[in-house]
Amino acid sequence: MKDLIELARQTVQFLDERLRNCSKLPVTAAEAYDSFYQEMVSDALVALLAAEEGIAASAQDAARYRWLRAQPNNIVAPRVDVVHWQIEDETCNGGTGLRMEELDSVIDAAIKEPKP
């Protein structure tokens, strides 16, 4: 995000310098510069807005995860459970409720596992 903000800042500064120089040129050249640099600024702003949307979505996901991770480790209803299911034998699966660091560890391990 800092790179995008820096790019936008540099683009606006560059645009400002060029437009100051263009004010001394014939109107057609100034208009050409103006159009070109407006497009540069527009592209930078679109990139910033897309990054901002991504950051907002990530922040919402992080808030959900922090809430889920902090749920009490008890059986009082209502509650939301995260269960790590594993094959116990050919006939059944077994599950373990996950909270806090244990939840983190299982998710990290699952992310690292190669996908079939």
Q: What confidence tens digit (pLDDT) does each residue in 63-114 have? A: 988 888 877 777 777 777 788 888 888 888 888 888 788 888 888 888 898 8
Q: Which of 55, 48, 59 is nearest to 6 (CA)?
A: 48
Measured CA to CA, the distance from residue 47 to residue 4 in angstroms comes to 7
Asked if residues 30 and 22 have their Cβ atoms less than 8 Å apart, the reply is yes
Q: Give the pLDDT confidence of 1-24 residue by residue, as tens digits.
A: 567 677 777 777 776 676 666 656
Model confidence pTM above 0.85:
no
Tell me the domain boundaries of the chain: 1-70, 72-116
**Helix, strand, or coil here: 64?**
helix
CA distance linking residue 97 with residue 108, whole number of Å:
16
What are the start-end ranges of the H helices in the chain? Answer: 2-22, 27-69, 100-112
